[in-house]
Each structure stands twice: as structure tokens, then as C-alpha cells.
Structure 1
Amino acid sequence: MASAVEAGGRLRRAVEGGELAGVPAGLRAELEEALASEGALVPFSLLRRLHTALREAESPLHLHELLEGSEIHLPAVPVPPRNPELVARLERIKARLANEEYRRMTRNITGQETHGTLAEFGRQVRSVKAVVITIFNFIVTVVATFACTYLGSQYLFVETAARVLSAVIVASVVGLAELYVMVRTIEGDLGKL
């Protein structure tokens, strides 16, 4: 914690030039001694007494004017030496955490190829299941589009042939759009392999 000020040029000039004539001689002597010391450190207690003396003498000088160019002296904080037992313990903990991280990253990696195992069979079943669901979804979408268009076109067309033709056209457009989306999805999935 700061307890002194490194005197600036303004305070030095005031002490050496005699501007502090209204200040008691003992206080002036202490200031001169503080300025002559190593680093020109002036303690806060001495500055408080100087401030009080300047007020009592009704001096035109103010303490903040005298402290222009001065800096607060912050003493260096001594760093205690590290405990060797603590350092060794921290190193063991770091090594253990690094090993756990390595094991977590490599836990599902094996050096053996898995051909003909149940895992491979499960992947194939999931793949077939995804294809069956996609085809079923395509068929349901096209049939539902045909049915909705056929029933909705009865308000526009009286003849059955016109209704069927409009339903086939709309179902074809929706089917082509669905095929386009499926192809793009499959391309994306194959691109990731």
C-alpha cells in the first residue's frame, strides 16, 4: 500500500526557493531531509502536517499545487517463494488431467477394423431404414397432393378428365420437387463420407 510520494519539481522548488516561509522551521527541515533521501520520498504523514501548516499560515500555496508532477510511490510487493510440495502436487494434478483428457478423446478409437460384426450390421439396418422411410414419405406426399388437387378442382372443373389431369400435373410438380430435395440430401450425405 502506498505510504509516500515521490517529490516532483514543483515541491522541490518550493522547499529550496523559500516559498514555504510561513511553515514552521522543524517541518521545513523534515521536508528538506525527505527530499535529500534516496528517491526523494515524502511520507503522507509529513504531507498532512504540511497541509495543516499551510492552512494555519493562510498561505496562498495549496498542497495540490505543490504536488504537481509528483507521483505516488508504490513499493514492490515481495513475492513469497513457492512451496516445493505444492508445485509437485500441482504438476501431478496437471499430468492426471492431461491423461484423463487424452483418454476421453481416444476412448472410441480402436486399431481393429470392424467387418462382419454386429456394429456393421446395425449401421446397414439404419441405412436401409432411412431409405425406406424416405421412399414412404415420397409416396405419401405425391398421393396426398393428387387427392387434394382432385378434390379441390371440383370447384373449377365439372368434367372428371380435367380434374384428373390437373391433379396429375400438380402431383408431378410436387413429386419432382421432392425428388430434387432427396437428391440434394443424398449428395450432401455422400459428400461427408
Structure 2
Amino acid sequence: MIENRRQVRTDGTGNADILETAAQCFMEQGFSATSIDDVARRLGATKGRIYHYYSSKTDLFFDVHREGLERLFQAVEPVMGIEGSGVVRLRAMLTAHAMAMMTNAAFEAVVVQGVHMHRMAATTPDQRRTLDDLIAIRRRFEGLFKQVLQEGVDDGSIRNIDISISAKAMLGAINWLSVWYRPASDETEMDRQMLAERIVTTQIDGVRS
């Protein structure tokens, strides 16, 4: 789980709807094209309410990013310890990751945007430090998959592969959902589950022993 979450996220003061609304705006318009005015207008609130919690659009973006990472950990960590071989646990983790990407599409789109922002270095020094912290959390998330891939190689259920490249390739394929996936109006949980399993089967077939 993510440590040192902002106190404002856990004190019950009611900014969850700000995060939800901001995530939708950032997903649809991107960071650069989204303003605090856009978020306030969509929320049906004043800018003052948002500024009560966040001093800038960038701080708001970072908190949406952090929440998106938190939701990924919440989805994947519980299935990481299920009984079974490495490949069985890897499949469960990848499926949970794919489901989280679809269930929390707006938040996870912001996580992916944050990675691009980090690569472009389009931030101030203070913002860069915060973004570096978020990217470090993302690397810890990737580390969960590297660990289980290695355990699968060790128990023989996964063939001898480059662990780092395989983890990045698998997660990259699932993260791409943030680019092309948009839920249908009549979509069900079962529809998402079936899509997740189809995506994951392609990944697992590439590493299975």
C-alpha cells in the first residue's frame, strides 16, 4: 500500500468528489487543457472549494495520480498471495490490474499521463520531487510483478525470461487500456471480466513454461 498519503485524503473532509471530477476532466482533456475552472464547473462548486484543498492544478493532478496508484495496489496486493504457482498468481495479478484499469479508468488515465509528464520533465523543481515520489511508487508496483515472475521461473511454471522486460511489456499492454478503453453504456462487470481475461491470456501465453 502507499505510505504517507496526504492527510486530506483520509480525514473525511469531503474532497473525494473533487478527485473524481478532476480525474474525469484530466482524462478527457489532458493536464494542459484542464483548468481549475473546468473542474469547479463540472463539480457544480466554486473554485474556492477546490483551493481549500489544493493550492494549484498541479497539486490536484498529483493527488489524483496518487489515488490512482492506491487503487492499483488495493486491487493487486490481495491476490498476490493466493495459493498456486507463480504463473497462477501472475495471471490473477494481471487480471486484477486490468479490472482496476477499467473500473477506475479516469484515475488510471491520470497515472499514465503522470508518467509522460515525468519523462518530459515539464515541472518545477518542487513538482519534480513530488512526481519523482509518485514514479517511485509506480516502480514498487512494477516490483510486485517482477517478484512473482521470478518466483514462477524458480518453480518452473514460467520459462526462463528477462524478468524486467517481461514485467514492463505485460504492464504496458494493460496500461494501454487507458488509451483505448471506454466503457459502453450497457457494460457489465462480467463484460469487463471477460475482456480482462482475454488480454491477460495473451500475456500469460508468452511466458508460460
TM-score, normalising length: structure 2: 0.21
Q: Which has the higher relative contact order, 1 or 2, with Cα contacts under 8 A spaced 6 or more apart?
A: 2
Higher-helix-fraction structure: 2
Higher Rg: 1
Q: Comparing both structures, which one devotes a greater share of its residues to strand?
A: 1
